[in-house]
Structure 1
């Protein structure tokens, strides 16, 4: 197949390009290259999509499949207007952040969505869900029956730059004890390996799978994930388990970002990491065992450095202070 990846230099889009080349497809990546170059074996059209329709002037001919990962509805519209008529299949990687609510475990693709970002408003991190919702709507309107909308949840595995899934195995592999852990053993985690997601996106293009799907891993209780992270990191380190109310009172952040405990979610998010992936699994989504993803993530964390600056998690000084305060009562 002749495949165009709008991106191809970072995490998921790079993995899609890498696997496509390995499968013998002819792959082109359109990207600025601000996060590095695309994988070996692809044709690179270097372009800045912020300039508008002119960014696509260097793309000639038709495409068996186009993969779009945009967050900006304006850029997504321009790409669709320039290229959708020349593509046989159009995948848009969306997000489960498009859903209006996150409290119901097991919810499927029929759950209510956030309203699309208005056309006169700029995309921003704070309006991420609305932006992705707008691009979904545009994709359906302009790609029609060729549209494959992939609502991904948290993506993990080697090369993850968000630092969320890898925080815990890396923290247990660190020599510092003890480790501060939230008291949420029964809370759900749900991570899809980037390699499995990329593989399914290519499978869908090859088999012309269309429609809208939650592309998610299986649910794993947080306690099991923590126990396995400790075991793999070995030897088993000491933990300090703090209640959610205490963590909130001491300004520990949820989920991601600075001074957070990754994968810990606020009330009202009981279904955020427990959505149904049944529809995608019925149409070819194959998931490796979650422990394999965890082991490979730990190896990647060690290779990149356990003490590197991270985008998510507690800093060493903050964690030590919090543990001292907790133990002091």
Structure 2
């Protein structure tokens, strides 16, 4: 099978390319060649998807059996890409749970309402509410989904909506931050309820499912998360402690205490959101994808492989989002002191 990946050098795109190649497919990646490196075994075509000439040159090398788009962020750019590649068999677009109108408040399935957007919207469309939801990113992803559906139709379009993705090559930096902090040892601020269920998904599991949808010609939308009972926050942090060999002591501070001192949820303490304020964060059903072959490796496997990657010199492509992550050590110590621990 001939598979085209738009991007293919960053986190998820790289993993999809590796998965498709491992499954014996002929993989082409299309990118500007400015960040990361092309995956081993893939043919590379250089070009900019925001350039009409670049898309024309790309289309001239097709068609492909499947186009996989893990990099689309702006609806009108995805619309132009889909139109240029409409002669291909299927378009698999990687969206996000942020495209749902109810995330992170409501429990979600694939039938939950999406944010209202437009297939031809530009990067300025939408807004980020001061509450933290909905986000401009979510509006954009919803518009990108519509763009793919408008061009390829429901029978030839596949929409994947992952939640939080972790694993080797992660460029956002959530898991790398936690690994480095736990590896330092000492008293570590642990947020909220240790028994809070969380469902981050391994990047390689998302990639394998994307390949599977291509191989089996699956259409429609799929939430792509780990199952609801995947792990707890305590289980996640314990995995970090075990794989780093750390002597860290986790000191659990409740949601209300953290909110009272203004800790920024999701960024200052990565992956943490108050259950009272954001009850739907980790309540995304991926039962449909699981029934179609999505599998989830253990959180310990994800943590261990990411730590091995980091300690062997792994370094993701630089991202501005990584600079937003993490609590200042002095502030962490102050919160622990105020909590009476």
TM-score (norm 1): 0.89
The change in CA–CA distance for 1:305 and 1:195 in structure 2 (over 3 A counts) is closer
The alpha-carbon deviation at position 28 of structure 1 amounts to: 1.2
CA distance in 2, matches of 1:100, 1:188: 22
Q: Which residue of 2 aligns with 1:54?
A: 53
Q: Choose 319-328 or 134-143, whichever is displaced more.
A: 319-328
1:323 equivalent to 2:322? Answer: no
1:189 equivalent to 2:202? Answer: no
CA distance in 1, matches of 2:115, 2:210: 24
**Is the Cα contact below 8 Å between 1:191 and 1:216 reproduced in 2?**
yes
- Give unmatched runs, 5+ long, in structure 2: 129-134
Q: Which residue of 2 aligns with 1:151?
A: 161
Q: Which residue of 2 aligns with 1:92?
A: 93
**Is the Cα contact below 8 Å between 1:100 and 1:112 reproduced in 2?**
yes
**Is the Cα contact below 8 Å between 2:243 and 2:304 reproduced in 1?**
yes
CA distance in 1, matches of 2:283, 2:312: 31
The alpha-carbon deviation at position 90 of structure 1 amounts to: 1.0
Matched residue SS, 1:186: coil
The change in CA–CA distance for 1:235 and 1:5 in structure 2 (over 3 A counts) is closer
Q: Which residue of 2 aligns with 1:313?
A: 326
How large is the RMSD of aligned CA atoms in angstroms? 2.4
- Give unmatched runs, 5+ long, in structure 1: none
Q: Which residue of 2 aligns with 1:79?
A: 81
CA distance in 1, matches of 2:291, 2:206: 14
Q: Which residue of 2 aligns with 1:215?
A: 224
The alpha-carbon deviation at position 325 of structure 1 amounts to: 4.5
Q: Which residue of 1 aligns with 2:131?
A: none
Q: Which residue of 1 aligns with 2:66?
A: 65
**Is the Cα contact below 8 Å between 2:62 and 2:88 reproduced in 1?**
no
Matched residue SS, 1:150: strand
1:174 equivalent to 2:184? Answer: yes
**Is the Cα contact below 8 Å between 1:117 and 1:123 reproduced in 2?**
no
Q: Which residue of 2 aligns with 1:37?
A: 37
Deviations 1:92-149 (A, max 9, x none): 00000011113334x3111111111574542478411011101111111211111110
Q: Which residue of 2 aligns with 1:247?
A: 258
Q: Choose from 275, 287, 297 the match for 2:284.
A: 275
The change in CA–CA distance for 1:27 and 1:118 in structure 2 (over 3 A counts) is closer
CA distance in 2, matches of 1:139, 1:118: 8
Q: Which residue of 1 aligns with 2:273?
A: 265
Matched residue SS, 2:269: strand
TM-score (norm 2): 0.86
**Is the Cα contact below 8 Å between 1:71 and 1:123 reproduced in 2?**
no
CA distance in 1, matches of 2:253, 2:23: 47
**Is the Cα contact below 8 Å between 1:163 and 1:311 reproduced in 2?**
no
The alpha-carbon deviation at position 215 of structure 1 amounts to: 0.8
CA distance in 2, matches of 1:160, 1:277: 22
Q: Which residue of 1 aligns with 2:26?
A: 26
The change in CA–CA distance for 1:71 and 1:291 in structure 2 (over 3 A counts) is same
**Is the Cα contact below 8 Å between 2:167 and 2:202 reproduced in 1?**
yes
Across the two proteins, how many residue pairs are aligned to each other?
Answer: 320
Q: Choose 21-30 or 117-126, whichever is displaced more.
A: 117-126
